[in-house]
Amino acid sequence: MSVRNQTIAPLKRECEISIAMPASLVLDVPHLREKTFRVGLIGRAAAIFRVDQIIVFPDLLDTDQSRDIKLVTTILSYIETPQYLRKRLFKIRPELRYAGTLPPLRTPHHPLSDRIKDLKIGEHREGVVTSLAKGGSLVDIGVERPVLVTDTRLSVNNRVTIRVTKLGKRPKAVLARRSEIEKYWGYHVTVSDVPFGQLLKNRSFDLAIATSRHGSPLAEVKDELRKRWKKSSRTLVAFGAPTQGLYKIAAREHLNLDKIAHFVINTIPEQGTETVRTEEALYASLAALNLLEGE
């Protein structure tokens, strides 16, 4: 097999990357089909650029955004879940009516093989606990029969990460932590219980980058940003909504974006359109920032 045709699993990033998305990111789209498509693009971008966490934050402080938050987080979580686990974990939900239009992620934790004979010792898989058994718990990992996770009693229907320890007709495995996996293993979705400004003021990130057409062109701050990027262990990249940018979102909390973010950058200087959609800004920004890690 030629080197070109070999599949090389991408390694996880050296630092944890989170992206912050406003709950109103689908507010300007009237139909569920189009909303689903947009959120699917966001999940796909997160996977392409090895994002570890997607944070959905409330951005319309005088509005109940619970419905939009549920829609966005459900679709993002669904697309991140391996296909063979989706029916067990999600059942039938109205938010997933157009889930069939979502693009596949094809990340390392979405394996294509579904045969026991193709399993390898040391292989990691995502699974769902189906039942308890003598000597441990049975976990569906997308092959013909559940594997036995030894010496542990797990909660049925819980999603777990396992490592294969024995092959054969009845494979065995042990529980694993995502932190021990060297490959990129997808993202997880969280909902912020505080608005955007407070999220940044909490300072749980070593580096907070806000994106805005009113920010400094990336080329002007590239050297300083690269130094901070390489030193950071937890980096946040935040994006505005279709109807309001991050400056306006911060101003709703009586905060100055320039003071609460370490950098406010424009990754699409001289844009040729009047507006740039959130998902478009996401791809452009993550692609530009991705270069910092390799330089």
**Mean pLDDT for the stretch of residues 23-51:** 95
- Reported as a single tens digit per residue, the pLDDT across 98-124 is 999 999 999 999 999 999 999 999 999
**Quick check: 246 and 212 in contact, CB under 8 A?**
yes
Domains of the chain: 14-106+195-294 (3.40.1280.10), 116-178 (2.40.50.140)
Q: Taking the CA atoms of the chain, what radius of gyration do you get in angstroms?
A: 21
Say if residue 9's pLDDT is above 60.
yes
Contacts of 131 (CB under 8 A, 6+ apart): 137, 138, 146, 156
- Reported as a single tens digit per residue, the pLDDT across 249-272 is 999 999 999 999 999 999 998 888
Model pTM score = 0.93
**What is the CA angle 66-72-77, rounded to 5?**
120
